[in-house]
Amino acid sequence: MDLVTIWFILIAVLWIGYFVLDGFDLGVGVLMPFIGKDDLRRRVMVNTIGPVWDGNEVWLLVAGGATFAAFPLWYATMFSGFYLALFVLLLALIIRGVAFEYRGKRDSQAWRDRWDKAIFVGSAVPALLFGVAFGNVIGGSPIAPLEGTTADNASNLNFVGNFFDLLNPYALLMGVMTLTIFTTHGAIFLMLKTRGEVRAAARSAALRVGLVAAVAAVATLLWTQAFSERVSITLPMALVAAVLWIGALWMVLKGRDGWAFSLSAGTILVAVASLFVGLFPNVMLSSIDPAFNLTVTNASSQEYTLTIMTWVAVIMTPIVLAYQGWTYWVFRKRISTSMIPPQPSAGRADDRFAATK
């Protein structure tokens, strides 16, 4: 297998990792106003992802950085082309990140409510926009050489559309898919990590949103076959994803939380993988002319860089998976509303371990 193919697969792995992991963080954030009916319940929700959300978000930075290193032309054309959408995405991620840390820092309900809104917006917007962005990669967007140049040098290939071109039906549908899938995935995570009233509310949300997500996902993945390079592989993959999702929802019904989460994670894995499998050997499709596609060949770095980066990735990824996995083990206990200590900001200068009695 040649290096550019290996790196296409590695980029896919990084994005899959990001969506499986930060997917449920985003989902929990989206559910804040719905399951988090009072402050205590919202605190439970935030604390299920508290220890892990930052490490999960790093998968996005590594996916982006790896794309920059392995396929610089893909990184350049995509990030400059999707400029305003990425700007909005960044603002959302900024306010989400700060909100987790700052929400408990003042003893004021209004303060906490404002940050909880930030968590909601900072989760819903990325959950939607990642789908929209991928929709434009998979379904194509206006890419062409700069005026006066040709596609012979792929460095000339730029996004020649505008922000509204990104909001096309296919991309928007994929955005709905990611939004609803991540929300359900987040609800299932909450089921796994909580007890009592929060878990009950999460279960109900998982079923309701999960059904909507199923419809959105089926529609999106079917439509995706129109763009796929190999329908004979991606269509079965889409069907497998659908089956896994049904399985996840059935496990939710049966109260088998661990299975439900494994299956929702598996669905995301297979669905995102199918997108990449259908895309190869392209990395960005041009809706203007297939001669203007960015591919693993014309968008990539050279052999030396790819070789070095392969070593780094092959050594580091298992290590990272190991210690990130360990984190989930350390924080495996379920959380309930009775376990939440007084707000850190409650004006007391001590950090006594408070017994419930």
CA distance 330 to 55: 14
Inter-residue contact 296 to 156 (CB < 8 Å): no
Question: What is the footprint of another protein within residues 314-353 (CB under 8 A)?
Answer: 316-317, 320, 323-324, 327, 330-331, 333, 335, 338-341, 344, 347, 349-353
Q: How far is the CB of 232 from another protein (least distance, A)?
A: 33
Q: Which is nearer to another protein, 27 or 126 (CB)?
A: 126
Q: How far is the CB of 227 from another protein (least distance, A)?
A: 23
Enter the tokens of residue 159: 């996004």
CA distance 103 to 114: 8
Q: Which is nearer to another protein, 75 or 120 (CB)?
A: 75
141, 264, 282, 301: residue in contact with another protein (rule CB under 8 A): 301
Q: Could you identify the residue written with the tokens 């509204």? A: 164
Q: Could you identify the residue written with the tokens 């379920």? A: 334
Q: Which is nearer to another protein, 45 or 174 (CB)?
A: 45
Question: What is the footprint of another protein within residues 29-48 (CB under 8 A)?
Answer: 43, 46-47
* 182 class by beta-carbon count within 10 Å (0-12 exposed, 13-18 middle, 19+ buried): buried
Question: What is the footprint of another protein within residues 49-78 (CB under 8 A)?
Answer: 50-55, 57-58, 60-62, 64-66, 68-73, 75-78
Q: How far is the CB of 100 from another protein (least distance, A)?
A: 6
Question: What is the footprint of another protein within residues 175-234 (CB under 8 A)?
Answer: none
Question: What is the footprint of another protein within residues 146-185 (CB under 8 A)?
Answer: 146, 153-155, 158-160, 163
Q: Which is nearer to another protein, 40 or 239 (CB)?
A: 40
**What Cα–Cα distance (Å) separates residue 270 from each residue in 16, 80, 233, 246, 273?**
9, 29, 12, 14, 5
Cis peptide before 51 (omega within 30 of 0): no
Q: Does 143 bind another protein (CB under 8 A)?
A: no
Q: Does 304 bind another protein (CB under 8 A)?
A: yes
Q: Does 105 bind another protein (CB under 8 A)?
A: yes
Taking contact as CB under 8 A, which single stretch among the options 104-112, 199-207, 208-216, 269-277 is the one that binds another protein? 104-112
Closest CA to 320 of 18, 6, 12: 18
Query: Quick one: how far is CA 208 from the chain centroid?
Result: 20
Taking each helix axis as running N to C, give the angle between helix 303-330 and helix 53-70, from 0 to 180 degrees, rounded to the nearest 10: 170
